[in-house]
Amino acid sequence: MTPVATSGLLLSIGEESDRISARDYQRLWSGDDFVVPSGYGNLVARHGEGLDIRLGEPVETIRWDGPGVEITTRSGTLKARACIVTVPVGVLKAGDIRFTPALPARTRDALNGIGMGALTKIALKVEGDRFGIKPGMSYLEAGSPKAMMNVDLFPDDKDIVIAYCGGDYARDLSRAGTAAARDHVTELLAKMVGESFRKAVTGVSFPAWWTDPFSHGSYSVCRPGFETARDRLAEPIGGRVWLAGEATAGGGAMTVGGATLAGRAAAAAVARLKA
């Protein structure tokens, strides 16, 4: 694969090209991305209006060897006919939720064939001088095929710049932490637009999903030779547990739309269960 193609995958999939299944990549949906101006938090809150949602309750164990399931959190145990698990693949692979009995071999094999990419966004608050840059412009730092970074400058005429990178480059920045990531992007842009850029930076937002214990990455990536892993991961476990989310969305993987459809499909399957 050429360096140009490799770098493109870092910015779209968030992973090194030799860790990506070409067959899985070929079936992924294509289309425009849409931004939620008010933020994804508001979108999720609107979808959850009227539901019994409890925050700050990370699940510790899921027991599925009885007639139903038992889900244990820090404050107690919930019992139900079935359970839909929508945590990222990174959380499942890390073993942060213990399944009793252990997940079936077929499910474990599917998880082994899926990793987590590291597409990363670093946003800087930039106030004052815009250095003659038209809002919505994008700069590309391509000094190295393995360390490519795309920077969107003043999108929607807002006083921010957003840097995107992926793969091991992004993992290193995530491990380095927020201050180091801010300094790195600031240094790159100071070289591009001028030293005065440093004084214009007044804040940073850096989710660093790769080091976030509730994600361990950005979104799922099928490994070479494991293009069927998503379909196998979506198979119900014991008729009681469904794994759902973007990783089980087939061609909709890596998208919010795909995750939504996968969740709806799992919910429909649970609704068909007999009481």
pLDDT tens digits along 154-170: 999 999 999 999 999 99
Instruction: Report how far residue 21's alpha carbon sits from residue 248's, in angstroms, rounded to the nearest whole number.
Output: 15
Domains of the chain with bracketed CATH:
40-115+220-271 (3.50.50.60), 118-211 (3.90.660.10)
pTM: 0.91
Percent of the chain surpassing pLDDT 70: 97
Q: What is the mean pLDDT of the chain?
A: 93
Q: Which residues are CB-neighbours of 167 under 8 A, at least 6 positions away?
A: 10, 14, 15, 16, 117, 118, 146
Dig out the tokens for 268 from the structure: 């429909």
Instruction: Report how far residue 206's alpha carbon sits from residue 261's, in angstroms, rounded to the nearest whole number.
Output: 28
Q: What is the mean pLDDT of residues 81-96?
A: 97
pLDDT tens readout for residues 193-209 = 999 999 999 999 999 99
pLDDT tens readout for residues 97-115 = 999 999 999 999 999 999 9
Residue 210: band (very low, low, confident or very high) from pLDDT cuts 50, 70, 90: very high
pLDDT at residue 165, as a whole number: 96
